[in-house]
A and B are shown apart, each in its own frame.
Chain A
Amino acid sequence: MPEQLKRLFPLFAIFIIIFLIIRHLLIPDTFGLYGHYRGDALKDNANIELVYASKEACIECHSDIREMLEMDEHSDISCLSCHGPGLEHVENPETANIEKPGSREFCGRCHAINPARSTNMIIQVDIKEHHAEKKDCIDCHNPHQVWEIKE
């Protein structure tokens, strides 16, 4: 082997070692633990804080309303659909920190007339005309027991 080639070998070796060191420093600790990604990323993603409570959380303290709901047409709807995230309330129930929307717009989200809505899934009313004598839907309908109509 020619002398000049032999002299190149240490040089190459140094380059490769430097490359490996830099590579080692740049790659995060848990990279490649489960695949071509940082293993700790799974933990990071799992540790994000919840904002919405779970459906079951409300029943612990409000079982009466759950029972009421179950007896009528809104039985399949989660408390959270109407009352919003609610986790703040579960952790600190003494303060009234939860939404209670009962306006025509809110009920209209589901009940307003729209030809794209299947009538098998939902009964629709004209939210502007339907019993316009009272302002809000909950002035007549109990949101938890919709066929309990207040006079």
Chain B
Amino acid sequence: MGNKGIKSSRRKFVKKTAAIAGTLVASSLIEPFKLLVYATEEPKDEGPWWGVGIDISKCIGCGLCAKSCKIENNVPEDPFFFRSWVEQYTVYNDGTVKVVSPNGGIDGFNQEEDKENIFKTFFVPKMCNQCAKSPCTQVCPVGATFETPEGITLVDSEHCIGCSYCVQACPYGCRYIHPESIVADKCTLCYHRLTKGIAPACMEVCPTGARIYGNLRDPESELVKYMKNNSYQVLKPNLNTGSKLYYNALSAEVI
């Protein structure tokens, strides 16, 4: 009895396993189940893999990047919608830190402060970090935000339902809900320009070359050379977002 029972239960087990495996393989051939297969597929190692470099020591805070971004991407005028903006950090001798970003820097900066009290001051241009492990894409309930094969995080404005989970998930504050279309909006690294081989608007107008972009897979690209020659850092490295926005001369005060 005992022996027979084991045999029959083993047979049952093998049968069931085979059935489950067979169903999985068969169902993966059917179109709607392609997603199951994708989950285990590795990203392909071809084509460009875009990253961005910002050299804080070169930035003069003209704010043309923020201005051109608004014009190029139809970002609302109001001073709380930004895809790209510039902050000025001022560290005083007593250790306090002040951060200002008048209108996101789109009209430039003018500081008339007593130089005596200032320990250090610098501009920090900010934009989407194009994370390789984006926290924002992970929370989207409908798959309307995603990383392209080129490593750019985009929003599918037709599919987005405007739930704003991603706005909260982004640790860098780089997303907002567009007041007209009521869907999430963010920096696309000017995907519509990149795909035509033209530089993003903010890089096009930067007068000092403080902003650069490049293909991280190409050892000859401007960005890779910049990374080899500078001690770059990303924002909030402890969050392990896989940020691909590399800052040079980043001070510890910057958050």
Interface bits B107-128 vs A (CB < 8 Å: 1, else 0): 0111101010010011100000
Q: Given contacts A37-B146, A116-B109, A117-B61, is CB(A54)–CB(B198) below 8 Å?
A: yes
Summarize B's interface: helix, strand, loop or mixed.
Answer: loop
A115 with B60, Cβ < 8 A, contacts A32-B35, A38-B156 known:
no
Cβ contact within 8 Å between B32 and A121: no
B111 touches A116 (CB 8 A): yes
B156, closest chain A residue (CB): A41
Judge whether A108 is part of the interface by a CB distance below 8 angstroms. yes
Pair count A-B, CB < 8 A? 135
The contact size tier of chain B is 35 or more
- A77–B123 Cα gap in the complex (Å)? 19
Chain B residues contacting A37 (CB-CB under 8 Å) are: 143-146, 156, 159
Contact between A114 and B157 (Cβ–Cβ < 8 Å)? no
B132 at interface (Cβ–Cβ under 8 A)? no
| A96 contact set on B, CB distance < 8 A | none
Interface of A (DSSP majority class): loop
Question: Bound complex: CA of A23 vs CA of B57, how far in Å?
Answer: 52
| Contacting pair A32 B38 (CB below 8 A) | yes
A54:B204 contact, CB within 8 angstroms: yes
CA distance A125 to B198 in the complex (A): 34
A50-B198, A76-B207 known; A24+B146 contact, CB < 8 A: no
Point out which of B32, B57, B60, B121 has the most chain A C-beta atoms below 10 A from its C-beta: B60
